[in-house]
Amino acid sequence: MPDLRASDADRERSVAALRHHAAEGRLTIDELDERSERAYAATTLRELAELHADLPAAALPRPAHPAHRHKPAFPGTLGFTVRWHSPANAKATSAELMAYVTPPLERWGYDLIQRWDDRLRFEREVRPVWTILVAIFLFPFGLFALFHKDRERITIDLAEDDRGTHIVASGIAPLRVRRAFAELED
């Protein structure tokens, strides 16, 4: 690949492809974040190509409607990925997400920490139960365990095409949040 300069459109296509691979389970959330940042900072087409070197060139299309939809049933804070489609453009879809998805997430303790045209990121900090147990059973030194908090992050990515907007929500969340997102899935 020659060292040709990358355009904004090249970077956007690269990030959209990375989101698709993350939605298919080929990349973790952290890998998607790291590669997306590198894609937006890339100046040449070679740098963009390196981000996709270990990924298949063309992804297989997924069925329009899954044979069965399963709701998350396992309790606890676990990773999830859901996909759905909106017939509206990305800007209108983002506005709808801000109106209908953000308020419930805020009620569940999530804060909107990042808002771009094609990405929303929510985060919350929670104190795990083990920290309280350590504080009680190893008092007074166990009180240091109360400084530890886990961080739960949910990222919603939007990818616009000629048929509307593809939405991918992924992250780590408790059962009630995973079930709410499962309701949106195509």
Q: Looking at the whole model, is its pTM more than 0.75? A: no
Could you say which of 1.10.3720.10, 3.30.530.20, 3.40.190.10, 1.10.1200.10 is the CATH number of the domain covering 76-186? 3.30.530.20
Residue 138 DSSP one-character state: T
CA atoms within 13 A on the CB side of 102: 15
State yes or no: pLDDT of 110 exceeds 90: yes
Mean pLDDT of 107-131: 89
Give the model's confidence band at 123: pLDDT under 50 very low, under 70 low, under 90 confident, else very high: very high
d(CA 177, CA 175): 6
Residue 5 DSSP one-character state: B
Please name the residue that has the structure tokens 């070679």.
46
- Give the pLDDT score at 69: 57
Reported as a single tens digit per residue, the pLDDT across 2-14 is: 577 888 778 888 8
Mean pLDDT of 5-30: 83
Residue 62 DSSP one-character state: P
d(CA 102, CA 156): 11
Structure-token pair, residue 77:
């804070």
- Give the pLDDT score at 64: 46
CB 68 within 8 A of CB 37: no
State yes or no: pLDDT of 49 exceeds 90: no
Please choose, from the candidates 88, 83, 6, the residue with its C-alpha nearest in 3D space to the C-alpha of residue 43.
Answer: 6
d(CA 171, CA 123): 10
Domain range list for the chain: 1-57, 76-186
Conformation bin of residue 16: beta by default, left when phi > 0, alpha when psi is -120 to 50:
alpha
CB 89 within 8 A of CB 165: yes
Mean pLDDT of 91-115: 90
